[in-house]
């Protein structure tokens, strides 16, 4: 990882901890496993103030281009669960992909257990959406 560990903004970290505590209802084993892995990663995350978070770190509402070792490329936006919209490629933090990406940064390569098996995903670009600050003010 570019920065050595996940980097999370303080309010987003608190929000993530909260939703992970109530997300035990995940229907499938793969999602439960993914959320447990995210919960474990949060224990070693760097938690920083809004002003100190690098621009290329994936946060809520970040727009991301990812590339898989399997050859697919996808543009997605990481959102809070209530804003997910598959038709607009807005994925929830509580999905396997969302849990894999949060707190990582541009040019990172991560390995994660997806429903189709273990894959390496390279983060090609990260663009911050103007809604990010609005979310942080409401969290």
List the chain pLDDT tens, one digit each, 139 residues. Answer: 888 889 999 999 999 998 888 766 566 777 777 788 888 889 999 999 999 999 999 999 999 999 998 888 999 999 998 899 999 999 998 888 898 899 999 999 998 777 778 889 999 999 998 755 444 455 4
The domain ranges of the chain are 7-138
pTM of the predicted model as reported, rounded to 2 decimal places: 0.86
List phi, psi (to 5°) of 91: -105, 145
Q: Check if the beta carbon of residue 70 is closer than 8 Å to that of residue 44.
A: no
Long-range contacts, 86-95 (Cβ 8 Å, 24+): 93/16, 93/19, 93/60, 94/19, 94/23, 94/26, 94/31, 94/35, 95/31, 95/34
Question: Which ranges of the chain would DSSP assign to H, the alpha helix?
Answer: 10-21, 29-42, 96-101, 131-138
What CATH fold (topology level) applies to the domain 7-138? Chitinase A; domain 3 (3.10.50)
């Amino acid at each position: 990882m570019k920065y050595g560990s996940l980097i999370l903004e303080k309010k987003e970290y608190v929000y993530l901890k909260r939703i992970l505590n109530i997300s035990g209802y995940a229907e499938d084993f793969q999602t439960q496993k993914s959320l447990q892995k995210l919960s474990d990663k949060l224990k070693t995350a760097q938690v920083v103030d809004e002003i100190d978070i690098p621009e290329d770190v994936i946060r809520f509402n970040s727009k991301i281009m990812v590339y898989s070792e399997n050859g697919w490329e996808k543009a997605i936006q990481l959102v809070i669960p209530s804003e997910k919209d598959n038709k607009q490629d807005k994925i929830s933090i509580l999905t396997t992909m969302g849990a894999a990406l949060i707190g990582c940064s541009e040019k990172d390569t991560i390995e994660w257990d997806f429903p189709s098996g273990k894959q390496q995903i390279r983060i090609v670009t990260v663009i911050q959406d103007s809604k990010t600050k609005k979310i942080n003010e409401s969290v």
